């Protein structure tokens, strides 16, 4: 009886695992530009922002060899930027594409403290 219960539990777990994998296969997130001044963080899906009819918000980064800047403007018109000369953050900025998810943090002086880029099938592509 004990083996049977364990077998049913394992079968149930395997089924739940397969169902959750199938549910995630087509997962997409669509995030407009968000800015949190308390946390000094900005985020958004570049492709999604491009595709909206809203022409107020924008987001991105650029680099000029030894330095880089990230910028964001939300739908209310609030704009934030940060700059860096950190080689690691510049490498991340260079990986940014038009369909990336971008997240960046800054300090009180406007220096980037972290830049994160996600390129994947779950971000909204430009259309």
In a domain, 9, yes or no: no
In a domain, 52, yes or no: yes
In a domain, 108, yes or no: yes
Give me the domain span that covers residue 93: 34-118
| Tens of pLDDT, residues 1-21 | 433 333 333 334 344 444 444
Strand order in the sheet with 68-73: 58-63, 68-73, 79-84
In a domain, 64, yes or no: yes
Domain count, the chain: 1
In a domain, 127, yes or no: no
In a domain, 112, yes or no: yes
The answer, yes or no, to whether residue 116 has pLDDT greater than 70, is yes
Q: What is the pTM of this model?
A: 0.77
In a domain, 71, yes or no: yes
17/91 Cα distance (integer angstroms) = 36
Residues contacting residue 77 through CB under 8 Å, at least 6 positions apart: 56
């Amino acid at each position: 009886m004990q083996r049977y219960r364990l077998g049913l539990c394992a079968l149930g777990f395997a089924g739940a695992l397969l169902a959750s994998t199938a549910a995630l296969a087509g997962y997409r997130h669509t995030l407009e530009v968000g800015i949190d001044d308390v946390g000094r963080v900005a985020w958004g899906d570049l492709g999604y922002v491009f595709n909206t009819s809203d022409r107020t918000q924008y987001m991105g980064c650029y680099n000029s060899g030894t330095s880089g800047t990230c910028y964001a403007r939300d739908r209310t018109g609030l704009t934030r930027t940060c700059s860096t000369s950190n080689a690691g953050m510049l490498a991340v900025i260079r990986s940014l594409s038009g369909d990336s998810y971008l997240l960046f943090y800054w300090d009180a002086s406007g220096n980037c403290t972290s830049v994160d880029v996600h390129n994947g099938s779950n971000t909204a592509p430009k259309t």
